Amino acid sequence: MPELPEVESVCHRLRNTALGATIVRATVYRPQMTHPQAPAKLRRSVAGRRITAVERRGKHILLRLDGDITLRVHLRMTGNLTVIPDARLRPETTRIWFDLDDGRALILNDPRALGRITVHRSAELPDLLKGLGPEPFDPSFTPAYLAEAAGRTAKPVKIFLMDQKAVAGLGNIYAAEALFQARIHPAAPAREISARKLKALHSSIVGVLTTALHSAISAYGTAGRFTEGEFFPAAVYGREDQPCPVCRARIRRIPQGGRSTYFCPRCQR
């Protein structure tokens, strides 16, 4: 599921469901998902604590509990954090289960079980999140900042965008979409891109994420789940061999960093 817009929409929904509830007990079905901590630490830390805030930093969800405990949840590829009314609605792929005091349950549902959930004191958080670049909607994320960051690396620009320390929250889809809108070839070395193009890239990053965020919140907010095709209609992502919506050239797929990158060979040079 999740890049920044989807993670934010999960947070949005949790604020309307989990906020204020008290966790009675945690059950860990996949101990490795609490790595590098022991599952017992999670169980011990959450019992009897109330959820006081739901925050997001990059793709990380921060569940604030009273008594200065923060659960940091990362959904990775297929995770979802959601409240269900009762055990009858328990998905087969539930990996962590939190009983709430009103009979509902907060669950981490994650078919691939690649997600992570760890427990922290608030004092540890800055260190924990220090590798993350600015939030794309933060005033500090400016074209000048992007140019400065890009200037320091010879990495292909798409790899640069997906590296969370340039800017937090972009993943494979929205990095590709932003590059398409800015008409930049995904394999171009970041430091060789003109200031003019980087300015366009800055705008397209903010624009793509804004549109996707609204789409993700309305899709998830109503149905309570993401549904195929309700997202931002991708111009290039997943469209190998289909015509570019701008110039009709055939969309290409190339491997980058072990994943697929989609782009229009005519629009993006």
Task: Give the residue numbers marked as catalytic.
Answer: 2-3, 59, 259
CA 40 from chain centre, in angstroms, equals 27
* Residue 159 lies near DNA (rule: CB under 7 A): yes
Out of 92, 127, 130, 140, the only residue in the binding site for DNA (CB under 7 A) is 92
Cβ(246)–Cβ(264) under 8 Å?
yes
Out of 49, 59, 197, 239, the only residue in the binding site for DNA (CB under 7 A) is 59
* Contact positions with DNA (CB under 7 A) in 109-138: 111-114, 131
Q: Please identify, among the stretches 12-20, 152-160, 197-205, 243-251, the one whose residues bind DNA according to the rule CB under 7 A.
A: 152-160
* Contact positions with DNA (CB under 7 A) in 224-253: 226, 231, 238
* Residue 207 lies near DNA (rule: CB under 7 A): no
Residue 208 CA to residue 170 CA, distance in Å, equals: 10
Contacts 24+ apart (CB under 8 A), 180-183: 180/204, 180/235, 180/236, 180/263, 180/264, 180/267, 180/268, 181/207, 181/208, 181/235, 183/267, 183/268, 183/269
Out of 22, 27, 37, 164, the only residue in the binding site for DNA (CB under 7 A) is 164
Residue 29 CA to residue 219 CA, distance in Å, equals: 29
Out of 11, 162, 167, 267, the only residue in the binding site for DNA (CB under 7 A) is 162
Of 57 and 266, CB closest to DNA: 57
Min dist CB 146 to DNA, Å, is 17
- The tally of CA atoms less than 13 A away on the side-chain side of residue 67 is 12
Out of 65, 173, 200, 244, the only residue in the binding site for DNA (CB under 7 A) is 173
Of 141 and 231, CB closest to DNA: 231
* Contact positions with DNA (CB under 7 A) in 93-112: 93, 111-112
Interface positions with DNA (CB under 7 A): 1-3, 5-6, 32, 58-59, 74, 76-77, 92-93, 111-114, 131, 153-156, 159, 162, 164, 171-173, 216, 226, 231, 238, 257-260
